[in-house]
Structure 1
């Protein structure tokens, strides 16, 4: 497998991004996606098998997810180019991305939909888990997975990465998740993954997704999996915001014909 920076000459805002040249990019993307959830699944199983109390179980899961993030970073380092090529750099073209304001509205909507009622010790554990999850998912799904598909064109890479990201959320069914909630989670994860992948392509950076993921997940963990009428209204509102934002960002992606071959 060869890795390099795709050369794009379309705008001073567009940055070369890490691109893997592989024979079977879709197969590679699926393997990368599975690699990003293996330790997370082990962490959940470990906590359940040991019968840990809630804060301890949360910290244990955070440790497994954090290890997954570190493995992803090592893969980035070993495959080359630099971490900056995968998106660990300051974002650009923030005006084109509307300064991520639509994305920032989501945790606000979520807070308004349900009260946060957890003990301080558990809230801290959720924050630690949110940090681990944010780095792990952005490294694997918006860093490595996008790189594995980018040779097909940025638009195809965005669509493929979002589908893999959403589909892997269906594994929550095996963890005892309620089917209706898991179905909603799948659709919402596909949409979130789509927008986050677009932001990487528009700004050339993973940091927007990482920061947003920390904020959103910390709130989501703290309010639980309620399916009340208010929560469903909040989900509908967030979905409307994401759809509008996705359409806006799609129009600002470099054309696949301008992408060229890495």
Structure 2
């Protein structure tokens, strides 16, 4: 549909080849942040078929959420108020993670996840705003989801808190870095 209506570029579905090498380097910190979960180990109690299906599902979640929040929602607000276009979808994305409470999740961990998801989304929004390329955001979001699924089940609440903080702090600093240093490649119409 996007291709047929010539909207691929508008929604940031640009080839990574269109990012100059120096702009592609801005993707590296996002990739590192998305791999933080691996520092806590991996617990796999699934067949290779289940691992494949879970990974495909998490890829789909990452891609669809990025299109929804960065592509549609952010672009809908961009021409009226670029700052709101960066903040509003990020806050909504974080708040949506409160739904984990309905499945019996711990309130402390859910609150930290909301904070982390908000700052991760803010980082992705700033990256998308500065580069007009949503593909790196989709990749990092998907990797984060996949590594989160395979975290060990027996991590103490303290280690889970440390993990969330280890994701929040670099996301905040990288968002600030992008905001302060990266020239915006997007032309607001």
Q: Deviations over 1:96-137 (max 9, x none)?
A: 564322111124321111332322343223202111101110
Q: Aligned match of 2:8 in 73, 80, 83?
A: 83
The answer to whether the 8 Å contact 2:66/2:138 transfers is: yes
**Match of 2:44, SS?**
coil
Q: In 2, distance between residues paired with 1:198 and 1:94? A: 18
**Cα gap change, 1:173 to 1:151, in 2 (>3 Å):** same
Compute the RMSD of aligned alpha carbons. 2.6
**Match of 2:9, SS?**
helix
Aligned length: 184
The answer to whether the 8 Å contact 1:97/1:249 transfers is: no
Match of 2:26 in 1: 99
Q: In 1, distance between residues paired with 2:44 and 2:120? A: 25
Match of 1:171 in 2: 99
Q: TM-score, normalised by structure 1?
A: 0.62
The answer to whether the 8 Å contact 1:97/1:202 transfers is: no
Match of 1:181 in 2: 109
1:208 aligns to 2:136 (yes or no): yes
Segments of structure 2 that go 5 or more residues without pairing to the other structure are none
Q: In 1, distance between residues paired with 2:43 and 2:97? A: 24
Q: In 2, distance between residues paired with 1:250 and 1:97? A: 16
Q: TM-score, normalised by structure 2?
A: 0.84
Larger C-alpha radius of gyration, 1 or 2? 1
Segments of structure 1 that go 5 or more residues without pairing to the other structure are 1-73
**Cα gap change, 1:187 to 1:168, in 2 (>3 Å):** same
The answer to whether the 8 Å contact 1:126/1:222 transfers is: no
- 1:81 offset after TM fit, Å? 5.5
The answer to whether the 8 Å contact 1:142/1:200 transfers is: yes
**Cα gap change, 1:81 to 1:145, in 2 (>3 Å):** farther
